[in-house]
C-alpha cells in the first residue's frame, strides 16, 4: 500500500517487486484465461474485465480509455467517484495521475532544449547553482533517467510530517540537498522524485514561467487536454473524483498532501480521455520533432554500459509479450497507467481513485482481450538450477533489497524478503542466465563460472545484489 513515507510511487509495477511501490497485486480469476474479443464484442469484453476487478478487489472507481488505430474501443467510468455520497464515476472524471507527470516534465525540457535555451547534457547546477553536488557533475539528463544519485525525498522519514505543511519549494530542496548521495552519478538507477523536483525548477528558471503555466500553455492547450490541470488540494475542479487509500479495514479517505511537493514529479491531474489524446499526439509526432521524440524514448545507460529500460520520464518494456512505451503513477488515493503499444498502434489508459487495485493488471487483462493472449516461450536451461539458488542482497529504492532464489524440480522461484507474507514466484528463462517475471528481468552474473551477483531490472530501477555466504 502507499504510505505517508511513499506518497509518490512511479514504479507501480505488478509482480515480484511490486512491493517496492505498491504492496498489493490483484488478478481476478475471471480474466485469467481471457481470449481476444472481436468486433462489437470488444467493448463488452473490456466492460467484463473492469467490472471483474471492481467486484473482486477493494476499489472505489476506475476510468478506462482504449483506442486501436482509429477505433475508440472504450472511454468510460466505472464504480464510484465518491463512496460517501454514492456518486458514480462520470465519463470525464478527473484523477491525480501521480508520476505519469514525469513524461510531461521531460517533454517540457526537450521543448526548451529545442528552442536553444538549455542542453540536457549541461551540468544541472548551471541553472540551479546553489545546489551542493560536492564536485560531482550531474547532467540534466541524469535527473530524468533516475541515475543522478541524489537522495529521494519520498524515501526520507522526515518528509512524512512535512507534506501537510504549507512551505515554499526551497524548503523541500533543503531537506534532501543536505543528504549524502545514494551513489555516484550514472553508477545505478534508483527511482528518484527529488531529481524531477529539480527538473521542474529548471523549467521555471529557463522559461520564466511557473511549471503549471508552462505545462498548460505549451502542452495541455496545444494537445486539447481541456480537463487537465496542475492538481490543487484546495481548488474546486469540476469532475474531480475523491481518492481512497487501503487500510487493514478496507478503503479510507486518502492521506493529505500539499501539491507543492509532488510538483514536477507527480502533481498533474487529468482524465482518461485527455491521456488518450496525449498519447496520440506524443507518439503521433504532434508534440516533438522526430529527433527529440526519439531522444525521449531511447533507454539510458549506466556508466559501465549497462542498458536500462527507462528513458526520459518514460519506460520501454513488454506487457503480456507486447512492446509498450508507458509510465505509471501512484499518489495518495490514486493509481494510474498510461500505455502506448506501438506494434498494435493502440493506447490503454487506466485511472483509479483508490489504491486497492493496481492499474497495471487491469491494463494487462485489457490487452489480452484487445490483442489476444500471447503464449510466452521459455528457453531451455541446461545448467544446474542449484548453481543459482541462494540469497542475494543489495540496495533498492530507499531500502535493503533481499531476494531468495530457490528451485522446485525444474522450476526456479524468487522471493522478495519483505515481511511474513512474502511468497515465491516462478521465473521464466529467456536466455543467457536471464529470467523473466511479468517483464522484470533477473540476470545471474558469474565470476570464474560461479554465480556471485544478481542483476535486477525492475524497469523503473536497476539493482545489483551480491550473493550472500
Q: What band does 222 get if pLDDT is binned at 50, 70 and 90?
A: very high
Residue range 264-278: average pLDDT? 99
pLDDT at 37: 62
Residue range 129-142: average pLDDT? 98
pLDDT at 459 over 50: yes
pLDDT at 29 over 60: no
Residue range 130-147: average pLDDT? 98
Residue 306 exposed, middle or buried by CB count within 10 Å (0-12, 13-18, 19+):
middle
Distance (Å, rounded) from C-alpha 438 to C-alpha 27? 13
pLDDT at 161 over 60: yes
Mean pLDDT of all residues in the chain? 91
pLDDT at 422: 86
- Tens of pLDDT, residue by residue over 324-345, are 999 999 999 999 999 999 999 9
Distance (Å, rounded) from C-alpha 256 to C-alpha 192? 21
pLDDT at 93 over 90: yes
Residue range 437-460: average pLDDT? 94
Q: What band does 36 get if pLDDT is binned at 50, 70 and 90?
A: low
Residue range 82-103: average pLDDT? 98
pLDDT at 39: 58
pLDDT at 25: 34
Nearest alpha carbon to residue 231 among 358, 338, 102, 94: 94
460 near 13, Cβ under 8 Å? yes
Distance (Å, rounded) from C-alpha 298 to C-alpha 332? 30
Most confident stretch, 10-14, 342-346, 373-377: 342-346
75 near 274, Cβ under 8 Å? no
Q: What band does 396 get if pLDDT is binned at 50, 70 and 90?
A: confident
Among the ranges given (298-302, 321-325, 396-400), the one the predictor scored with the smallest mean pLDDT:
396-400
Distance of CA 266 to the CA centre of its chain: 10
pLDDT at 98: 98
pLDDT at 26 over 60: no
Three cell numbers, residue 181: 548521495
Nearest alpha carbon to residue 16 among 416, 467, 418, 417: 416
Most confident stretch, 31-35, 417-421, 437-441: 437-441
Higher pLDDT among residues 337 and 418, named by residue: 337
Higher pLDDT among residues 262 and 29, named by residue: 262
Using H for helix, E for strand and C for coil, what is the string for the chain?
Answer: CCCCCCCEECCCCCCCCHHHCCCCCCCCHHHCCCCCCCCCHHHHHHHHHHHHHHHHCCCCEEEEEEEECCEEEEEEEEEEEECCCCEECCCCCEEECHHHHHHHHHHHHHHHHHCCCCCCCCEHHHCCCCCCCCCCCCEHHHHHCCCCCCCCHHHCCCHHHHCCCCCCHHHHHHHHHCCCCCCCCCCCECCCHHHHHHHHHHHHHHHCCCHHHHHHHHHHHHHCCCCCEECCCCCCCCCECCCEEEECCEEEECCCCCCCCCHHHHCEEECHHHHHHHHHHHHCCCCCCHHHHHHHCCCCECCCCCECCECCCCEEEEECCEEEEEEEEEECCEEEEEEEECCCCEEEEEEECECCCCHHHHHHHHHHHHHCCCCCCCCCCCCCHHHCCEEEEEECCCCEEEEEEEEECCEEEEEECCCCCCCCEECEEEECCEEEECCEEEEEEEECCEEEEEEEECCCCEEEEEECC
Torsion sign (Cα): 463, 103, 243, 30: negative
Residue range 186-201: average pLDDT? 97
Distance (Å, rounded) from C-alpha 107 to C-alpha 412? 41
Residue range 225-230: average pLDDT? 98
- Tens of pLDDT, residue by residue over 205-217, are 999 999 999 999 9
Which domains does the chain possess? 1-375 (3.40.710.10), 385-467 (2.40.128.50)
pLDDT at 6: 31
Q: Which residues contact 327 (CB under 8 A, 6 or more apart)?
A: 10, 99, 100, 102, 103, 313, 314, 315, 338
Q: What band does 469 get if pLDDT is binned at 50, 70 and 90?
A: very high
Distance (Å, rounded) from C-alpha 109 to C-alpha 141? 10
Q: What percent of the chain has pLDDT over 90?
A: 83
pLDDT at 97: 99
pLDDT at 85 over 80: yes
Amino acid at each position: 500500500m502507499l504510505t505517508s513515507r511513499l506518497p509518490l510511487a512511479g514504479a507501480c509495477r505488478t509482480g515480484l517487486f511490486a512491493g517496492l511501490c505498491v504492496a498489493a497485486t490483484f488478478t481476478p480469476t475471471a480474466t485469467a484465461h481471457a481470449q481476444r474479443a472481436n468486433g462489437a464484442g470488444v467493448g463488452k469484453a473490456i466492460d467484463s474485465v473492469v467490472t471483474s476487478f471492481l467486484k473482486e478487489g477493494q476499489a472505489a472507481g476506475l476510468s478506462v480509455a482504449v483506442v486501436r488505430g482509429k477505433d475508440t474501443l472504450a472511454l468510460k467510468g466505472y464504480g464510484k467517484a465518491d463512496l460517501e455520497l454514492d456518486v458514480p464515476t462520470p465519463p470525464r472524471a478527473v484523477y491525480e495521475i501521480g508520476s505519469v507527470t514525469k513524461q510531461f516534465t521531460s517533454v517540457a525540457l526537450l521543448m526548451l532544449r529545442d528552442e536553444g535555451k538549455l542542453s540536457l547534457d549541461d551540468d544541472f547546477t548551471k541553472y540551479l547553482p546553489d545546489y551542493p553536488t560536492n564536485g560531482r557533475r550531474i547532467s540534466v539528463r541524469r535527473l530524468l533517467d533516475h541515475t543522478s544519485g541524489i537522495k529521494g525525498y519520498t524515501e526520507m522519514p522526515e518528509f512524512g510530517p512535512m507534506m501537510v505543511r504549507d512551505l515554499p519549494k526551497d524548503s523541500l530542496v533543503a531537506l534532501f540537498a543536505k543528504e549524502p548521495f545514494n551513489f555516484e552519478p550514472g553508477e545505478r538507477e534508483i527511482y528518484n522524485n527529488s531529481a524531477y523536483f529539480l527538473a521542474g525548477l529548471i523549467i521555471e528558471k529557463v522559461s520564466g514561467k511557473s511549471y503549471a503555466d508552462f505545462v498548460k500553455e505549451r502542452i495541455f492547450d496545444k494537445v486539447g487536454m481541456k480537463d487537465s490541470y496542475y492538481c490543487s488540494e484546495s481548488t474546486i475542479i469540476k469532475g474531480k473524483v475523491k481518492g481512497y487509500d487501503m487500510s487493514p479495514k478496507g478503503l479510507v479517505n486518502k492521506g493529505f498532501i500539499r501539491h507543492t511537493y509532488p510538483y514536477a514529479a507527480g502533481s498533474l491531474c487529468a482524465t482518461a480521455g485527455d491521456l488518450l489524446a496525449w498519447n496520440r499526439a506524443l507518439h503521433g509526432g504532434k508534440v516533438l520533432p522526430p529527433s527529440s521524440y526519439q531522444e525521449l524514448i531511447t533507454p539510458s545507460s549506466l556508466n559501465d554500459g549497462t542498458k536500462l529500460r527507462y528513458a526520459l520520464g518514460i519506460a520501454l518494456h513488454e506487457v503480456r509479450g507486447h512492446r509498450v512505451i508507458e509510465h505509471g503513477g501512484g499518489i495518495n488515493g490514486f493509481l494510474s497507467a498510461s500505455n502506448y503499444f506501438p506494434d498494435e498502434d493502440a493506447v490503454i489508459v487506466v485511472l483509479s481513485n483508490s489504491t486497492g487495485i493496481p492499474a497495471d493488471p487491469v491494463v494487462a487483462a485489457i490487452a489480452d482481450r484487445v490483442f489476444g493472449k500471447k503464449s510466452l516461450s521459455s528457453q531451455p536451461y541446461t545448467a544446474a538450477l542449484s548453481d543459482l539458488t541462494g540469497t542475494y542482497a543489495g540496495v533498492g529504492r530507499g531500502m535493503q533489497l533481499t531476494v531468495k532464489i530457490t528451485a522446485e524440480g525444474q522450476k526456479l522461484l524468487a522471493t522478495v524478503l519483505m515481511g511474513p507474507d512474502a511468497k515465491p514466484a516462478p521465473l521464466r528463462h529467456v536466455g543467457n542466465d536471464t529470467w523473466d517475471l511479468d517483464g522484470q528481468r533477473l540476470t545471474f552474473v558469474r565470476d570464474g563460472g560461479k554465480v556471485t551477483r544478481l542483476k535486477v531490472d525492475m524497469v523503473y530501477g536497476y539493482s545489483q545484489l551480491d550473493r550472500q555466504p
